[in-house]
Structure 1
């Protein structure tokens, strides 16, 4: 296990903490893969009764670590592999036989929002926010967020968040039914701990079937959404618009999209 993921287990509660505080818990491919493996591995361990996912420090997870990808010169992995890893984690959270709680201790952005919303219960500090900033760098929402947000908030609000990259405060997300509850910082951990303890002491099989029934009724389109997002994102990850968006973000300037959806083969030619 890398240092970017901290794991602890007590009284049937498996706690997973993304710990990349220098990057506001932006997640790289290695950490994403380990996160998925950890959640999937818990499926065969009857002593695990609930999973709590959180971030270290003041952020939950601020999305994919594009700086790490840029430093790797685009050779970290193919777009297909990147998308498969992200989709695997979302599916692992949704398909887990035990309830998953997202302890959103700070901002959740990009795929970090997707990870939080895939959980069964989502408790956020009231100063946190959710953000889908994909279009600002020439990408589209992924991690199933195109389905999960729309299923929870409706098409109009989902479009506002996804197309405009509008920041959604946790208090508004709770009022709209996108997350379970927004709480003051001094009460958040106690709430999560109390809920986790209640679930850990509950009937594992009954909770599993209840979770599966709710997800089947509300997330019937998730697999189709993940497939559409993968197809679209693989295209966009090799586009000139994404290269421009990523370069602009890393150099702290406004992007200049030319509207051409052409692919690039050599980023140096587009510099």
Structure 2
């Protein structure tokens, strides 16, 4: 049976693939709910220390499957699409206490683009493109696009891309600061897997606390952020990985982090 989400775990990395390549991995209700379940499973699995999210076939994700919303028998309605599909996915991506790499292998459009941008580190194949496609069909950007994109590239550029719906190729996205980096297509798969495996060997709790600090920085003032840094640094210093990191530094060896 063909599943809309593929998952396999290797070297403490959860490899998640959006698996509707025949429609460029566009979301229908089944795929959205399945992705939520898989993300929750990865969050709870102590053997998973990093997540690698990509798409099967030529695309990362083309956003919402418009056939679903134009079919009266299938259309769940925009309230359900946002409140039951995309919003929970974005919240999970930000709340999971593990680093998430978005490996954007091809086009990322609409909700697909914004779900990628909600991940911790975005790496794209040079052949990939990001498109805020909403205005082309009379909609506004969703899936936290209006939250993250202006913070990544600035208000003016975000406004223009959202209103005009311009295609942004991966190298330009890197230059704009929209993504971490673009890599040649022939190096893409190995590069993103190596990155995810590197993250999985790092001090997982410290990375989770870093993610929490970044999340809260989006709404905190300076005084609150400094207080939060103090609180989280004390928590980091109480971990076994901190003790291992310091010991390894003193002994001039590579640390062996356990994610504890």
The 5 A counterparts of 1:21-36 are 21-36=21-36
Q: Which residue of 2 aligns with 1:14?
A: 14
The C-alpha deviation readout for 1:157-210, integer Å capped at 9, x for no partner, is 001111111111111110111100001011111111111111111111111001
Alignment coverage as a number of residue pairs? 219
Q: Which residue of 2 aligns with 1:49?
A: 49
Q: Which residue of 1 aligns with 2:240?
A: none
Q: Which residue of 2 aligns with 1:83?
A: 82
Q: Which residue of 1 aligns with 2:190?
A: 190
Q: CA RMSD in A?
A: 1.5
The C-alpha deviation readout for 1:107-165, integer Å capped at 9, x for no partner, is 00000001100110100001211001111111100000011000010010001111111
Cα deviation, residue 5, structure 1: 1.1
Rounded Cα–Cα distance in structure 1 between residues aligned with 2:215 and 2:164: 28
The C-alpha deviation readout for 1:215-252, integer Å capped at 9, x for no partner, is 222476xxxxxxxxxxxxxxxxxxxxxxxxxxxxxxxx
Rounded Cα–Cα distance in structure 2 between residues aligned with 1:187 and 1:101: 16
Identify unmatched segments of 5+ residues in structure 1.
Answer: 221-271
Q: TM-score, normalised by structure 2?
A: 0.81
Rounded Cα–Cα distance in structure 1 between residues aligned with 2:187 and 2:74: 43
Q: Which residue of 1 aligns with 2:151?
A: 151
Is 1:137 the counterpart of 2:168? The answer is: no
Identify unmatched segments of 5+ residues in structure 2.
Answer: 221-260
The 5 A counterparts of 1:177-216 are 177-216=177-216
Q: Is the 8 A contact 1:151 1:219 kept in 2?
A: no
Rounded Cα–Cα distance in structure 2 between residues aligned with 1:211 and 1:158: 23
Q: Which residue of 2 aligns with 1:266?
A: none
SS at match of 2:70: helix
Q: Is the 8 A contact 1:49 1:200 kept in 2?
A: yes
Q: Is the 8 A contact 2:68 2:74 kept in 1?
A: no
Rounded Cα–Cα distance in structure 1 between residues aligned with 2:210 and 2:201: 16
Rounded Cα–Cα distance in structure 1 between residues aligned with 2:219 and 2:123: 20
Cα deviation, residue 45, structure 1: 1.4
Rounded Cα–Cα distance in structure 2 between residues aligned with 1:29 and 1:218: 30
